[in-house]
Amino acid sequence: VKRRVWARIGLYLAAALTVVVMLAPFAWMVIASFQTQAELVARPLPWWPQQFYPNRYISLFADPKNDVFRSALRNSTIVALAVVVVSMIVGILGAYAFARLRFRFRRVVLMAFLFTYMLPQIALLIPLYLILSRLSLLDTVTGLIVVDCSLVVPFVLWILSNYFLTIPSELEESAWIDGASRLGALLRVVLPSARPGLFAAGMFAFLLAWDEFMYALIFTSSTASKTIPVAIAEFSGRYSTDFGLVAAGGVIAALPPVILAIVFQRNVVSGLVSGAVKA
Amino acid sequence: MSQPVRMRHMPVRRSPGLTALGLLTPAILVVFGIIVYPMIRTAVYSVTDVTSAMQTSAPFVGVANYATALAGAKFWSSMGRTLYFTIVSTSLELVLGLGIAGLLNAKIKGQWLLRTAVVIPWAVPTIVSGALWKGIFNAQYGSLNAALTQLGLIDSYKVWLGSPFLALNMVIVADVWKTVPVVAFMLLAGLTSIPHEVYEAATIDRAGPFRTLWSITLPLLLPSISIVLVLRIIEAFKVFDVIYAMTRGGPANGTMTIAYYTYTTAFSDQNYGIGSALAYLIVIVIAILSAVYLRALRRSEMSLL
């Protein structure tokens, strides 16, 4: 019995340590974003703002010199939402085919999608640049949406195919008996019971698109299409002495995905749970 | 598992091949419509002497670009650093990820807090995470220096990103923090699929916790572990974003990984021919790693392949 008590204590200690290590860096970024420059460089460093200093947030949202940041926020939102919508529609249809249909070249096609994961973006960068420039899609949100979708769709396909496999096909078959078409059964029977998988795939798609850096770095050049990661990278290069400003920008850039991840954490985990192994 | 059986009531009389083609065409267009031509184009660049993106005709040079790339000392040192980064970060992520997956799977109070804490680094964008860790490791105001001096562990502030090898290890720390959550989630997926009866049987046989872990959990988790491992190895081999955000390959090329080296060759040095050859060398190494990955996938219970 005593050994069990110690095991429980050890378990809780490990859990507490994990919580601290996972939270501390992000927490410090939030705190630093509200501290004055004088506090940030003080030794010993105060771990809590001596005075509440929200000026950096005001500057990020109001100062004309931070135009890039505000437009980046807008561009990232448009790109991420469009990528989620496109890749989910395309992914649901494709994943349904992989999970439910036996057809020739099924394996080859599936392998081809998995292969794209192994391709480094850098191998496509120069030709893509030339194509986008010829189509006048350089430095546009549309251009980014197009190239980002090619990164995100294989992921969505993988997560959703696996999840669809866990849904018993009897459900659909009874819908067919009731006269539903294949598409009708997919929409009304399969999708509602695939909710965790859909959330997981949607979250992954959003994070990948919000996070995407290399394409945005090369293909964007102005407020018309620069995204949040590009803006933050520029900030962190330009204001390396003003960490508070970088921190404030980082907090705002991280908030949308962090809030989504916290809200949907249960779905994300269970969507992967059934998706990653069982199938 | 679920073999689509031909049913009497199947609504669609078309062949499954045609239906599949219809369903998959959008995905194929969106993915391969974008990447196939650039892949071919880069392969062509890699055997020609291209030094400008606008160049219309470039002389064919055969494998000269590959030879030049492979002969460069910088290539091998970046390859070595990338291997070091890949091996160290992947093993740390696997070990810590297993531990965290175990915690997430344990019946403890406040599980929601643990899960929320673990989900946050996953959601923070890589570039933000890089900028954040650059601040943590800063030599003048970094919070690591502040914490360590206030705890009395070091006497004076240290330059964490100042020397080549130390900087590489610090970048690994940042990468592990950001990536361990997704590894833990994928392993948790494997853990929860292990049936309860197996553990009950182990308890009846009076197996201790370590014996249970070693002889039951790990072997049953092996398929998930191999998938996660190879996915992570591929990703780590391509590492670029966190390097760009934290060190830009410095100091003294100490964090110059192969992807970053390719980037500087192609864009800073404007050497597209050699840059393309380097890109394909990365593809070749990753393809070898991927062969292992696909084999792992097939051996696992995934019925997709």
- What gap in Å lies between CA B154 and CA B100, rounded to an integer? 29
Which amino acid would we find at residue A66?
A: N
Task: Give the percent of chain B with pLDDT over 70.
Answer: 89
Question: Is the dihedral angle over the CA atoms A22, A28, A31, A32 positive or is it negative?
Answer: negative
- Complete DSSP assignment for A150-163: HHHHHHHHHHHHHH
Q: What are the two backbone dihedrals, phi and then psi, of residue B8, each rounded to the nearest 5 degrees?
A: -60, -30
State residue A66's pLDDT score. 87
Question: Of A49-58, B78-87, B175-184, where does mean pLDDT reach its minimum?
Answer: A49-58
Q: A261-276 burial, b if ≥16 CB within 10 A, otherwise e?
A: bbebbebbbbbbbbbb
Q: What is the pTM of this model?
A: 0.90
The stretch B20-28 carries a mean pLDDT of 91
- What gap in Å lies between CA A266 and CA A199, rounded to an integer? 10
pLDDT tens for each residue of A17-40: 999 999 999 999 999 999 998 888
- What gap in Å lies between CA B10 and CA A175, rounded to an integer? 10
- What gap in Å lies between CA B40 and CA A182, rounded to an integer? 37
Which amino acid would we find at residue A200?
A: A
Q: Which two tokens stand for residue B99?
A: 């531990």
Put simply, the answer to whether B189 touches A14 (Cβ < 8 Å) is: no
Rounded to a whole number, what is the distance in angstroms from the first to the last CA of chain A? 39
State residue A31's pLDDT score. 95
- What gap in Å lies between CA A265 and CA A269, rounded to an integer? 6
- What gap in Å lies between CA B17 and CA A253, rounded to an integer? 44
Q: Which residues of A touch B245 (CB under 8 A)?
A: 232-233, 236
- What gap in Å lies between CA B106 and CA B104, rounded to an integer? 6
The stretch B4-10 carries a mean pLDDT of 49
Residue found under tokens 């050890």: A10
CB atoms near residue A233 (< 10 Å): 22
State residue A276's pLDDT score. 40
State residue B99's pLDDT score. 94
- What gap in Å lies between CA B117 and CA B111, rounded to an integer? 10
Question: Of B43-52, B75-84, B161-170, where does mean pLDDT reach its minimum?
Answer: B43-52
- What gap in Å lies between CA A122 and CA A148, rounded to an integer? 14
Contacts of A182 (CB under 8 A, 6+ apart): A176, B11, B12, B19
- What gap in Å lies between CA B105 and CA A270, rounded to an integer? 12
Q: Which residues of B touch A90 (CB under 8 A)?
A: 26-27, 30
Of residues B51 and A216, more confidence is placed in A216
B299: distance to nearest CA of chain A, Å? 12
pLDDT of B8 above 80: no
The mean pLDDT value of chain A amounts to 89
Q: Which residues of A touch B208 (CB under 8 A)?
A: none
State residue B229's pLDDT score. 85
Question: Is the dihedral angle over the CA atoms A236, A239, A240, A241 positive or is it negative?
Answer: negative
Radius of gyration, alpha carbons of chain B: 24
| 3-class SS of residue B5 | coil
State residue B121's pLDDT score. 96
Cα A277 to the center of its chain, rounded Å: 21
Which residue of A lies nearest to B130 if distances are taken between CA atoms? A233
Residue found under tokens 């964008």: B125
pLDDT of B11 above 70: no
pLDDT of B298 above 50: yes
State residue B203's pLDDT score. 78
Q: What confidence category does residue B294 fall into, taking pLDDT thresholds of 50, 70 and 90? A: low
CA angle A236, A240, A246 (to 5 degrees): 45
Put simply, the answer to whether B120 touches A22 (Cβ < 8 Å) is: yes
State residue A274's pLDDT score. 45
The count of C-alpha atoms lying within 13 angstroms of the C-alpha of B237, restricted to the half-sphere facing its C-beta, is 22
Q: Which of residues 237-266 of A touch B (CB under 8 A)?
A: 240, 243, 246-247, 250, 253-254, 257-258, 260-262, 265-266
Which residue of B lies nearest to A211 if distances are taken between CA atoms? B125
Q: State the ipTM, two decimals.
A: 0.92
State residue B297's pLDDT score. 64
For A11-156, strand residue ranges (E) read none
Report, as ranges of residue numbers, the positions in chain A whose pLDDT lies below 50: 274-279
State residue B13's pLDDT score. 55
Put simply, the answer to whether B266 touches A125 (Cβ < 8 Å) is: yes
Q: What confidence category does residue B130 fall into, taking pLDDT thresholds of 50, 70 and 90? A: very high
- What gap in Å lies between CA A244 and CA A254, rounded to an integer? 15
